[in-house]
Homo-oligomer: A and B are copies of this chain.
Amino acid sequence: MADDLSSSVLDRFNAVVGSVGLVTDQEELDPCLAEWRGLFHGRAPVLVAPANKEEAAEILSICQHERIGVVPQGGNTGLAGGAIPHSTPEFPQILISARRMNRIRDLDAANYTVTAEAGCLLSAVQAAAEEGDRLFPLSLAAEGSCQLGGNISTNAGGTNVLRYGNTRDLVMGLEVVLADGRIIDGLSGLRKDNTGYDLKQLFIGAEGTLGFITAATCKLFPRPRSVATALVAVSDPTAAIELYGEARRALGDQLNAFELIGRVAMDLVLTHIPGTSDPLSGSPDWYVLMELGSAGPDADAVLQAFLSAAIDKGRVQDGVLAQSGMQRDALWRLRHSISEAEKKAGVGIKHDISVPLSAVAQFLERAEALATRRIPDVVVVTFGHLGDGNLHFSLNLPAGTDAATLMKLWDSVSRDVHTVAAELGGSFSAEHGIGTLKRHELQRLADPVALDLMRTIKAALDPAGIMNPGKLFL
């Protein structure tokens, strides 16, 4: 495959990064060419790993000049195919990786900031913050393998968004290599800076289509002193949202998580995941898993008092508060095992929608009705980050459903579900991005003027079209 690129170009890359920064061996390349779930298989003659921003800049200059596509890849844990290259002899594409740029450059405890290179594992940034007695709140299932640069490029969400925001909210400054090889030294630990356009915003969530991020300064937070976790039963999603409103009012900004789990989702877990049991009796229709992180020592008492009042008011039917770390883990396991349980139960059509909280109940009603009309024996699995309005609404089909049937249904049903979300002011991709997977939906559902403006920006920043070609746009 290396013949997508001339040997003279490879020699020039080699002159910049040395052999330690070049991967051309097919076996070593293979894991970087496949999306981890197997949805996408790509092709590239080489992965280039510069040791610093200057090397990255030289590589991009060469690519700009030779019109070679450049696909930035972090830990390759994305869910939309955004990091998979599709090189051809006509339009060669290389992978570029920040894996050798993995230093924590600075931890400024007084300023509550960390400056880290793009190739740092997310878990390494978390660990550095903890060593400085601070919290870097971004947290994802893939945190042991995903990289900070990828998190920023995809504006990653995760389990702490409710309290601390998306990755965008955590980034204070960026160092970026532009498509033409120029470097923006935009690292900054300032809470306030109104000096022209806020350029970093362009690169956050751009999925590598506008430049190559090499380092970032991010916000840190105090570490909570105590944490309390509860699983409670509520009558329906509307009641869950009312409970959320009260929790925000009563608990201030200390609510870390507010997750919704439907009956079907819970049953899948109880059936398919060994060692799980329902801590609540009476098989409630809906559960909320909520967690409080407090600056004081008494998160348990605060959450207990809140839930007692909610039970008295009839907002909550039943509930259990974790009495130990083990119990907390058991509660979270119920939530985190849903995807695995779905897989064991059959095959599923998955969604990553968001709607305003006020529209959640209406979304569920309409989307479920549409899905049931198209697939009479569908099993609707509802769960998600309710506090963010982000639902993973899955449609499970019986085990044994063949792939062709699944794919045919996936397309038509997903369009329906996305259309319902859009009609309610929602999004068809709350946290996973567009990549290759959702380009058609972006084309179909985005405001045409907005989409055109995105193309204008792409053309202005990357006129040669070398940055992550074929992503985002059709």
Contact = CB atoms under 8 A, between A and B. Distances in A.
Contacts of A188: 425, 427
Contact of A253 (B111, B199, B254, B358): B254
Contact of A197 (B206, B241, B250): B206
A199 B197 CA distance: 12
B354 A199 contact: no
A280 B110 CA distance: 27
Contacts of A166: 191-192
A252 interface: yes
Contacts of A221: 248, 253
A262 B163 CA distance: 34
Contacts of A355: 190
Interface string A286-299: 00000000111000
A167 to B, nearest CB: 10
Contacts of A190: 354-356, 389, 425-427, 430
Contacts of A267: none
Interface residues on A, range: 35 or more
B451 A196 contact: yes
Interface of A: 108-113, 154-155, 157, 161, 166, 168-169, 178, 182-199, 201-202, 204-206, 210, 221-224, 241-242, 245, 248-254, 294-296, 354-359, 385, 388-390, 425-434, 438, 442, 445-447, 449-454, 456-457, 459-461, 472
A195 B358 contact: no
B442 A195 contact: yes
Nearest to A241: B110
A453 B358 contact: no
A461 B454 CA distance: 10
A129 to B, nearest CB: 13
Contact of A191 (B108, B113, B161, B178): B161
**In the complex, the 4 A-B pairs of residues with the closest C-beta atoms, listed nearest first:** A252-B295, A201-B201, A460-B460, A192-B430
Nearest to A166: B192
Contact of A295 (B183, B250, B431): B250
Nearest to A196: B454
Contact of A442 (B196, B204, B446): B196
Given A198-B201, A201-B198, A460-B456, A191 B450 contact: no
A447 B184 contact: yes
Contacts of A385: 192
19 contacts: A111-B389, A113-B356, A157-B192, A161-B191, A169-B169, A178-B449, A182-B449, A184-B447, A191-B354, A192-B389, A194-B429, A196-B450, A196-B454, A199-B454, A201-B201, A222-B248, A252-B254, A253-B254, A253-B295
A354 B295 contact: no
Contacts of A241: 110
A446 to B, nearest CB: 6
B194 A161 contact: no
Contact of A192 (B248, B354, B445): B354
A430 B254 contact: no
Nearest to A186: B450
A428 B192 contact: no
A431 B192 contact: yes
Contact of A454 (B157, B183, B197, B438): B197
Contacts of A198: 155, 168, 201, 204-205
A251 B460 contact: no
Nearest to A201: B201
A112 B248 contact: yes
B193 A427 contact: yes
